[in-house]
Amino acid sequence: MKKKVYVLNGPNLNLLGQREPHIYGHQTLADVEAACRVVADNNGLTLEFRQTNAEYQMIDWLHEARLGAAGIVINPAAFTYHSVPILDALKMCECPIVEVHISNIHRREAEWRAHSIMTVAVTGMISGLGVHGYVLGLEHIAHLAKRVE
């Protein structure tokens, strides 16, 4: 049976490629999903790729993933800075979690954007490498999954 990995995306990422392309680039979320599917397929993983603008939906997906998933790659987007319920759901997960941000949140215009409350619950963070950060995060999860086989 293939191990399942979740790639979860928060608010406004459905508009990736259209929203502030000077910050987030021109690739769409469909492009990101296609790149992630290649990594998952090459590593014998099943991919659940999802996006939501609703906090409760992200929490439900984390509850679904918390037991048995090989790992989670999450771009919490605007949830990064304030969503204690998502943080609490992440803390319940028993798998590796990689937090991904397309832009370098530490170089953004507003000081509050430089602080992720999610970091206390994740294995690691990739920030500022564009959408390639998703691929790198997924490759790390695949590497960890192979170590526990």
* Catalytic residue numbers, as ranges: 24, 101
Residue 120 near residue 87 (C-beta atoms within 8 A): yes
Q: Which two tokens stand for residue 26?
A: 């021109």
Alpha-carbon gap, residue 101 to 45, rounded angstroms = 22
Residue 26 corresponds to which amino acid?
A: H
φ, ψ for residue 48, nearest 5 deg: -110, 105
